[in-house]
Structure 1
Amino acid sequence: MKMDYEQNAKIFKALSDSSRLKIIDILSCGEKCACDILEYFDFTQPTLSHHMKVLSDCGLVEVRKEGLWNYYSLDINNCNKLTLFMMNLVTETKDCICKNKSNCTCK
């Protein structure tokens, strides 16, 4: 698996906000309308739009427009890629970055 540090750093930065983590948790139950997501927060619709744009731009959330409403869902494929990246990051594997160095101390 190719380790894309730049893209994943962007995702982790997006997830460093507690409201965005909560949004991911809410969306883990399935697609939600923006108005349904707003019920969980004490902020305005423009603030929610900002959070959703950040999550969408980094690839974790998909947006579907229906009439005047936006519906949001997790991009399961990208969420799974993030999970695999994190697992590979903290686990010694045959693809360990230091194995490409001649002075590697990995086993």
Structure 2
Amino acid sequence: MTMELEQRAELYAALGDVTRLRLLDALACGDLTPRALGEELSLPGNLLTHHLGVLEAAGLIHRRRSDADRRSSYIQLADRARPMLSPRLPSQPPPRVAFICTHNSARSQLAAALWRRASNIPSVSAGTEPATRVHPGAILAGRRAGVDISAATPQSLDGVLSKEDLVVSVCDNAGRQLPVDHVHWSLPDPVAVNTRAAFDETCAELNQRVHALADIIQGEP
């Protein structure tokens, strides 16, 4: 009981600061590097480090090392923080959501299929360096999650994106290469591990993020 009270007190203390609430809201749609967070909120480095440390200790955020550059990391929102958010809602929903990864063989294909189940807003997926086929592990993971991507074909983002799209990158390398403003989700590549568990974990995280983003776009609590 004492430990539970201490954890609750730590949580409430972390939330009892306007700057920390703004940091959480900034992470509502996607992941950001500490530098990007500091620039968005105009926070000096020492103050940002302090507030991120408090939020991390309370289990409201966590860090993930970038696959594109192991020297940098992304700050990610923990699931327990979502009920406490008040993110900025778009003035109107985008006409389409475009999910982008490097090879368009797993993460972006799964994200687009899961999105179609979660929202009536159309979705598309593409890759910066598309593979020749969708990975079999992604197809099987999709089936286990209730979506079918067996007929999908990887495609290049050239000629696919429109300026009205809400673009979501789902891998660090593609996120660095995209020439347009976008939301970023830092997810590990399940193809690199190539196990059932890796594909299922990726699918589960994508499903959670897709529903969270759909709720924000559609103005749902």
Q: What TM-score results when the alignment is normalised by the length of structure 2?
A: 0.33
RMSD: 1.9
**Deviation string for 1:16-48 (max 9, x for gaps)?**
111100000001111111111112223311211
Could you list the runs of 5+ residues in structure 2 that have no partner in the other structure? 85-221
Answer yes or no: is 1:79 the counterpart of 2:116.
no
Answer yes or no: is 1:69 the counterpart of 2:72.
yes
The alpha-carbon distance between structure 1 residues 31 and 39, as it changes in their structure 2 partners (threshold 3 A), is same
Aligned to 2:44: 44
Q: 3-state SS of the aligned residue for 1:64?
A: strand
Runs ≥4 residues deviating over 4 A:
none
Q: What TM-score results when the alignment is normalised by the length of structure 1?
A: 0.63
Percent of aligned pairs with the same residue? 29
Q: 3-state SS of the aligned residue for 1:40?
A: helix
Q: 3-state SS of the aligned residue for 1:73?
A: strand
More helix by share: 1
Aligned to 1:86: none
Distance of 2:59 and 2:10 partners within structure 1: 10
Distance of 1:5 and 1:40 partners within structure 2: 34
Single out whichever of 27-36 and 17-26 deviates more from structure 2: 27-36
> How many aligned residue pairs are there?
78
2:24/2:81 contact within 8 Å kept: no
Could you list the runs of 5+ residues in structure 1 that have no partner in the other structure? 84-107
Distance of 1:33 and 1:68 partners within structure 2: 11
Distance of 1:71 and 1:12 partners within structure 2: 24
Name the structure, 1 or 2, with higher relative contact order (CA <8 Å, separation 6+): 1
Q: 3-state SS of the aligned residue for 2:40?
A: coil
2:64/2:74 contact within 8 Å kept: yes
Distance of 2:31 and 2:76 partners within structure 1: 4
